[in-house]
Amino acid sequence: MPVYTKLYGAFVLVLFVLYFGGIGLLRQNEKRITVYSQALLFLAGLVFYAYVGVLFVPVLLYECAAAWSFGLFLAKKTTGVKKGIAVLCLLLPLLLFKYLRYLLTLAGILSGTFFLPLGISFFTLQSITYVLAVASGELPAEKNPLPVALFVSFFPSISSGPILRAKQMLPQFGRVRPFDYEAVTDGLKLIAWGLFQKLVIADNLVPYIVSVKGAQDASGTAQLLAAVLYSFQLYLDFSGYSHIVIGTAQLFGFRIPQNFDHPYLSESVSEFWHRWHISLSSFLRDYVYFPLGGSRVREGRIYCNLLLTFLISGIWHGNGMTFLIWGLLHGLFICLDRLWKKRSVILTFLLVTIAWVFFAAASVKDALLTIASFIRIPGELLHLVAQMKGGGGGSWERLATAWNRLVFPEADVFLLQPVVFLLLFCGISLFTKNHPGLPWIRGQKPLLRWSCYLLLIGAVLFFHAAAPVNFIYNQF
């Protein structure tokens, strides 16, 4: 059930009425309200998940049951061996579906197209945070399986995150959450902003990117432009999704930390990873990098820890060589950050974009060919200037024709609308980096505030993509 569809909106609306209607009917009986709200949201998670494929619901139920059971198991006495067994059992479905199947396919034992259970990479890590929080004493083990099952299957974040932390969410699930007008209105604002990013900008960039990838003789200039636009498509696609699900959770009174914080305004790749997919980067920091020794070891070991952490990040994202190279590139860039202290937003964006080329490519060969095509850009631009300087009239017309041939492999693909909205988004991002959006808009006069709301809603209604694209991170 894609979160940008009318069906999802209807699902949330019905759930909203049942949730707060039930709380109102139960009135002051706090215990019954807590059980009712937890049971309703858990059932909502199962319905949401079953919509994608009923066959994979047992995988989700296994993860819920395993997390609860191992929480009780580790609460009695924790050892390194017990923690290892618990984590391995929680990882088992992910290893079987995502990695063993890939290896068997490479070996020729399996063939054909296989579907990955939706969100398995995300809810597996969530269940691990609960078990390790119990093992470390951060949380008591839940004797009641319902809160743990709700945490693992929480419907807003189950498909593509953010990766929730048990110590952040379980206390929220255990409290009565009455209707909060400000939380609901803020949630609706986040949802609208997420739909704008996803439907108006990200999805409208796709036709151009696909046209360049599918062209046999696309110029280096077109390849570079497509790579830059893919960087924004991926960001706005995932950031848009995150805003929608964070806003959805906020409708019901639950606070999920932000997952993106202006990553393309970072001055280094290290800073980028403090601002990009924050829930994953913080998970890798706390559960991979720190246990390896983090930065508390000798310098050479620090570099090894960084490379290994980002190698694991690449493996988590996918099981091909392109993802491994993508992860290693980011590890290498962060190692270089430690050696070279110069900071640059433009350089950081270019390095991240180069890495995205591998992330998006079907093979390492395709990624290398794309990067190699960038070498042709100076010659292509010089040829363009030479055409403009040629004798005779109509030089600007010739320039426009030559530019269109250079940049647009297909004549019927247009970029003006998404680029205008992208530039608008970039301007807003420059402002909101130092002035958080929700507090700022709340502080404005009603006329300005409602003008912004209506313009945002109008953009989503009238400029959304004709054919919405599935969220890129759903495949992970």
As annotated, the active-site residues are 317
Tell me how crowded residue 210 is: count the other CB atoms within 10 A of its CB.
14
DSSP classification of residue 107: T
DSSP classification of residue 374: G
Helices and strands, number each (H, E), in the chain: 22, 0
CA dist 300 and 161 (Å) reads 33
**Structure tokens of 391?**
């004798």
**Structure tokens of 377?**
């850009």
**Structure tokens of 15?**
């759930």
Report CA dihedral (290, 126, 74, 289) to the nearest 10 degrees.
-10
Question: What residues have CB less than 8 Å from 334, skipping those under 6 apart?
Answer: 269, 270, 273, 306, 310
Closest CA to 83 of 121, 123, 134: 134
- Per the CB < 8 A criterion, the answer to whether 259 and 412 are in contact is no
CA dist 99 and 87 (Å) reads 16
Closest CA to 237 of 472, 474, 463, 475: 472
Which backbone phi and psi does 190 adopt, to 5 degrees?
-65, -40
Question: What residues have CB less than 8 Å from 169, skipping those under 6 apart?
Answer: 151, 154, 254, 256
CA dist 268 and 337 (Å) reads 7
Question: What residues have CB less than 8 Å from 333, skipping those under 6 apart?
Answer: 269, 351, 355
CA dist 261 and 273 (Å) reads 10
CA dist 444 and 328 (Å) reads 45
CA dist 286 and 1 (Å) reads 31
CA dist 55 and 60 (Å) reads 10
- Per the CB < 8 A criterion, the answer to whether 407 and 221 are in contact is yes
CA dist 133 and 147 (Å) reads 15
CA dist 391 and 369 (Å) reads 36
